[in-house]
Amino acid sequence: DGDLGTVSLGIMYASFTVFSLFASSVVRKLGSKNALLLATTGYWLYTMVPASLYLGFASAILWVGQGTYLTSTARSQASEHNLHEGNVIGHYNGEFWGIYASHQLVGNLLTLGLLKDGAEGSTSGTTLLFTVFLGSMALGTVLMSFLKKRDGEVYEGEKDSSHGFYTFLVSLWKQVTTPLCDTRLLLIVPLIAYSGLQQAFVWAEFTEYYVQPSLGESGVGGAMAVYGAFDTICSLAAGRFTSGITSITLIVSGGAFLQSGILIWLLNYSEPIGVLRVVYLLFIAAIWGIGDGVLMTQLNALLAMLFKHNMEGAFAQLNLWQSASIAVVFFLSPYVSLQTMLFFMLAALVLSFAGFIFLVLKVEKLFSNHASQQLFISLLAAMFHFNHYMALDEESPLVDNPIQSPNQTVNHGRDIHILSWAFLLIFLAYGAAQNLQSTLNTDGDLGTISLGILYTSFTVSSIFASSVVRMLGSKNALVMSTTGYWLYIAANLKPSWYTLVPASLYLGFAAAILWVAEGTYLTLTARSQANDRKLHEGTVIGRFNGEFWGIFACHQLVGNLLTLALLKDGAEGSTSGTTLLFTVFLGSMTLGTVLMSFLNKRDGEETERNRDSSLGFYTLLASLWEQLITPLRDIRLLLIVPLIAFSGLQLAAEFTKFYVQPSLGESGVGGAMAVYGAFDAICSLAAGRFTSGLTSIALIVSGGTFLEGGTLIWLLNYSEPRGVLRILYPLLIAAILGIGNGVLMTQLNALLGILFKHNMEGTFAQLKLWQCASIAVVFFLSPYISVQTMLFLMLAALVLSLAGFLFLVLEVEKWSSICKTTGTECLMLLATEILSRDTNSKDVDIEPQLIIFMALDEETPLVDNPIQSPNQTINHGRDIHILSWAFLLIFLAYGAAQNLQSTLNTDGDLGTISLGILYTSFTVSSLFASSVVKTLGSKNALLLGTTGYWLYIAANLKPSWYTMVPASLYLGFAAAILWVGEGTYLTSTARSQANDHKLHEGTVIGHFNGEFWGIFATHQLVGNLLTLVLLKDGEEGSTSGTTLLFTVFLGSMTLGTVLMSFLKKRDGEETEGERDSSNGLYTLIASLWKQVITPLCDMRAEFTKYYVQPSLGESGVGGAMAVYGVFDAICSLAAGRFTSGLTSITLIVSGGAFLQGGILIWLLNYSEPTGALRIAYPLLIAAIWGIGDGVLMTQLNALLAMLFKHNMEGTFAQLKLWQSASIAVVFFLSPYISLQAMLFLMLAALILSLAGFLYLVLKVEKVFSNHVS
């Protein structure tokens, strides 16, 4: 009414701006804790104009108090625990802004659940909504009162207590103006102002002009929920990676790059048709969320590091400029066009980024390069006219790479950052240009043929690329080879046979040099880092490869977004905007080349390459031949070559042509490849972090190939779906292919870097030789073979390559590790045996072969668990890997079969009743399962438990009352044994790891539970994908393919059981378990919490029946459960990583319960939407269910393992007893109670269980911690 809402927001932010001028004084006088409590009253009172004025004042106080309190807390933590201050500030800001950002998600979900659109635009439910909001605010204020006061703040505030009014005004003026005399702050101010602009733009303009016209009023909440979810995730991640000025620079640069791409896209945005109308807006909302998460965490961390002596003033300036820019947007938005606003934001982003980079490269360079404080301060004072705000101690945590003393080590990570970002800038251009060749240059198939020529030249050039790299050095080779990419992009400005063909030939040569140099440079850098820092070499190589391939993989995302924004489809298939696009690409490449010139040269290369400087032509040819052939005499490389060739095949496969383009059209190719690139990037970063040696590489590669194999089988049986699934399926396949590529690229490069340290150039030349040869084969043969033949060829190559790789891991490297412990004689005998078995020649020179094949120093970082001496510690992580993958193989079969019971076995409700019998048997068996596990031992109990699952799947091949009922009864018994055995085994393993490696027990239990439940949760994804591929809907509701499906499931279960037999027995289980005591009140409280997870597990059946099936149909159930499984897996892994004790468990569980409560309230008010939201809502709910399940499963198991270490079997039996009992109740009662009643029951159970859990944490554990005896 009269734009009351918008005007009141403008007044509020104007008031916020004005009061920010003296907010720092108020915070100093009150102290940060009291300031926080005072400020919450403004939010509670907020009702339009008068309250807007007061809220502006309160907000200024609140946010200055928040920044000051958080920074003081971080500094105290760093000081008391001797930690790196920058790391702690980054982590604390990441946690705060990550949890804070979820307010968008939770608040909009509540709005979506409680606010209803009425007739003629009216809205009902506002009173209930704002009452809930008041309750939430009151709870937050009460919670804030439990904060501790920060030491030293009161003394600072009391110094001004006797000053008069005039003195107070002078003090105020000084606090406003003094920070602005500091050039550092002036250089940061534009970035602060831009952060406010983009927040106001998202809140007001983006929702009004983009979201509302496409998704309607109700869709605004959904879009902002997506924004909040990605803001949360990115804030947490950015905080974890923050350690100093270098890391802040890289993270902010990435965020600015993303934001600029989105602004350019919005400048050229035209509303799409169909489901893309929804997908595009949610995608843009997600990227805005990522940008906001980056800016908020990094700006706060940067100010906290730079201005430790005037925190209140610095954070007051932050809020002053941020709120001023927000107020400007609210007041000016009615008078300027949307295009003008976007141009203004783009200009502000460029200006602010330039200032930030200048600060980093110039000012901070002076801080790090001057050892003398007096010279340092006087020089800066002369240059920038400021004084006491630049004391040296402020900058100490900022400089990641200071000038080193002779005894200090150098951080080589800087070179990896530069290399990664340079490759991103170069390949975002080349990758997008390559994707467009078959679309743009169609005259005589010029584009496709030029790519074939390029990869043929690449293959041939790989033969002598290692010699060129040795002669030039890896850095010079990198810089020189970028010219080929620059020339190729320039040729695309005027594409013809006379420009593209020569450019392709030269690029093939340059690319071979580039990639050999990249592998060599990265591996040398990783080795230098490991040697200088005394780190495990395999771990450093894995992490550096993860970072490089993660950032590199973003080129698909960024390049295709630019293509999407700048390239327009014209009339009759023509395309406009190519000149602008390739000009932008040339600029990006130039920037990448310049960036690469800042790389440091690697030590030790000169001496290697100078040895070849005087060689004649004949000697050079002989050297080339030796470099080509010698690596192929190494059986290890021969076993890896098929995997290398498969990686090339899958890169060149015709996915976009045969699957994306028919469904999404030309414009959808870029979107699909952006999804591919995003998942490739995420998976590369994750895979690199988990790489530590041969065992971890074997597990990661096996998982990746398993996914790729499933996708290839799916594509062999693929028929184009209808409706929204026509969009979702290609995007899902693109995501899985991105995951597979991320796995293969990081692990292949890490594997070769670890195995062949004495001939890196030759090895990486072989990598590119076989990779490019297979790519060239695909480009030349694709016109002559069908896509089915191509898929069969790839599937055969995948099986062959995995077999060779596993043979390498299980046989060759196994013997090399044994020889390390038994001496050189064994090595000689083994080499003689292998050479006699694998070589036809009897006159083999053993000595050189030993040097090439099994040099002992090459294998040192490979073996995660070598034979241990009495003084060595064992890495028990191997058993967790085996346990996790075995459970995945077993439960991908059982989980999918359970989901299908109500659909397949409908005769007399056989499927549902058999599940009820199963969980009743499970409940009863849980009463004595702990005794069975104690008697057998946890490993034997696990093996016995698998037999029940095998028998149940076999019964589904011939389902009847005479097969299903007995199998269900036995499975209930077996499942009780299995799960008690799993909890006991995992906890015993975690305790052994903590004891042997002197680690914090709670952290290890959390990490091991995170890995187990993360991998286990993917059974929903993999099992439902197999169901989707192998099960077909027939006529009149019949289903075909069940025999094949359950046969595949039996094979998977058998493989899982065999894998489980490789587990080690746990020592000392019997003695621990004999102390069985009756479970008291505390056990009951912990078990009560399990009653939350129990209905949630059962709710999957009700959820799919009442929400998914009506919207997505039968075939959509598998897709929704796959989304559930993906988010369950990701959240389990993340939750496990963040678990370190009772406090972290409390925070994580509370967050999960909060999300689940929001979803239950939403479902109570749920009405089926129309259009694309009909698809999006069930998938969003499935994702949140998955997050909740991942949180609860990891945290419950970790909690019980920590609390009840002396009676593990009994405790985990209680867990399964209550879980299976409530599942059985749901299965038997669900036909007789309504869905609403079920939801109310779950909500009540959630509140009761959370109350019990919090009581346990706040009261019982307080007693434990306060008493020594």
**One domain, residues 456 and 320:** no
pLDDT at residue 1269 greater than cutoff 50 = no
Tell whether 750 is covered by a domain: yes
**Distance between CA atoms of 393 and 306, rounded to whole angstroms?**
10
> What pTM was computed for the model?
0.43
DSSP3 helix / strand / coil % (the chain, rounded to 5): 85, 0, 15
**Mapping DSSP to helix (H, G, I), strand (E, B) and coil, where does residue 1040 land?**
strand
833 vs 108, residue with greater confidence: 108
Dump pLDDT digits (tens) for 422-444: 898 898 888 888 877 766 777 87
pLDDT grade for 393, boundaries at 50, 70 and 90: very low
Any domain includes 819: no
Question: Alpha-carbon distance 1200 to 1208, whole Å?
Answer: 8
Tens digits of residue pLDDT in 1186-1201? 888 878 877 777 787 7
Give me the CATH number covering residue 215.
Answer: 1.20.1250.20
Whether 457 is in a domain gets the answer: yes
In a domain, 399, yes or no: no
Candidate ranges 366-375, 593-602, 777-786; pick with highest mean pLDDT: 593-602
Quickly state the pLDDT bin for 620 (edges 50, 70, 90).
Answer: low
User: At residue 996, does pLDDT exceed 80?
Assistant: yes
pLDDT of residue 901: 76
Range among 152-161, 566-575, 617-626, 895-904 with highest mean pLDDT value: 895-904
Structural element, H or E, at residue 568: strand 568-569
**Which pLDDT value is given to residue 918?**
82
Regarding whether 196 and 113 lie in a shared domain, the answer is: yes
Last residue of a domain, one of 755, 778, 812: 812
Residue 1076 lies in a domain: yes
Q: Residue 83 — φ and ψ, nearest 5°?
A: -105, 165
Task: Look up residue 71 and give its DSSP letter.
Answer: H
Do 804 and 883 fall into the same domain? no
| Per-residue pLDDT tens digits for 709-753 | 888 888 888 877 777 778 888 888 888 888 888 888 778 877 877
Going by pLDDT thresholds of 50, 70 and 90, the confidence category of residue 629 is low
pLDDT-derived band of residue 1088, with 50, 70 and 90 as boundaries? very low
pLDDT-derived band at 865, boundaries 50, 70, 90: very low
Better-predicted residue by pLDDT, 410 or 689: 689
Q: Is the domain of 336 the same as that of 431?
A: no
Who has greater pLDDT, 1072 or 1149?
Answer: 1149
User: Regarding predicted confidence, which is higher, 766 or 588?
Assistant: 588
> DSSP readout, 887-927?
HHHHHHHHHHHHHHHHHH--GGGHHHHHHHHHHHHHHHHHT
Q: Can you tell me the distance from the alpha carbon of 798 to that of 558, in angstroms, rounded to the nearest whole number?
A: 29
DSSP H or E segment with residue 1033: strand 1032-1033
Tell me which of 777, 812, 847 is where a domain ends. 812
Please count the structural domains in the chain. Answer: 3
pLDDT of res. 714: 82
Task: Encode pLDDT of 659-701 as tens digits.
Answer: 777 777 766 666 777 777 778 777 777 777 777 677 778 878 8
- Amino acid code (one letter) for 798: L
Of 171-175, 223-227, 874-878, minimum mean pLDDT range: 171-175
- Whether 383 has a pLDDT exceeding 50, the answer reads no
Q: Are residues 890 and 795 in the same domain?
A: no
Q: Which pLDDT score is estimated for 838?
A: 43
What's the pLDDT at 832? Answer: 46
Residues 6+ apart with CB under 8 A from 1182: 1103, 1108, 1120, 1121, 1123, 1124, 1127
Axis-axis angle for helices 4-19, 48-81 (nearest 10): 50
Instruction: Give pLDDT, residue 566.
Output: 76
Question: Angle at Cα 888 formed by Cα 887 and Cα 889, nearest 5°?
Answer: 90
> Do residues 1094 and 1210 share a domain?
yes
Stretch 996-1013: mean pLDDT, rounded?
76
Model confidence at 643: pLDDT above 80 = yes
Q: Is residue 1058 a part of any domain in this protein?
A: yes
pLDDT at position 490 over 80: yes
pLDDT band at 217 (very low <50, low <70, confident <90, very high): low
Report if residue 844 sits inside a domain: no
Residue 991 lies in a domain: yes
Show the domain range for 953. 877-1266
* pLDDT number for residue 540: 80
Q: Looking at the structure, tell me whether residues 1247 and 1146 fall in a common domain.
A: yes
Do 774 and 894 share a structural domain? no
More confident residue, 1192 or 611: 1192
Question: 61-73 pLDDT, tens per residue?
Answer: 787 778 788 888 8
| Beta bridge mates, 568 | 576
One domain, residues 244 and 322: yes
Report whether 194 contacts 345 (CB < 8 A).
yes
Residue where one domain finishes, among candidates 812, 836, 867: 812
Nearest to 421 by CA among 566, 257, 286: 257
- H or E segment at 321? helix 311-332
More reliable by pLDDT, 861 or 1056? 1056
Q: Cα separations (Å) of 633 from 393, 756, 809, 835, 844?
A: 57, 13, 18, 10, 12
Q: Are residues 357 and 456 in the same domain?
A: no
Mean pLDDT of 782-794: 79
pLDDT, tens digit (0-9, with 9 covering 90-100), for 832-842: 444 444 444 44
- Per-residue pLDDT at 152: 52
On the question of pLDDT at 1126 being above 80, the answer is no
Residue 959 pLDDT > 50: yes
Say yes or no: 668 and 780 in one domain.
Answer: yes
**DSSP bridge partners of 1107:** none
Considering the domain architecture, whether residues 352 and 471 belong to the same structural domain is answered as no
562-576, 1180-1194, 1247-1261: which has the minimum mean pLDDT?
A: 562-576
Mean per-residue pLDDT, 81-98: 77
Which pLDDT value is given to residue 382? 47
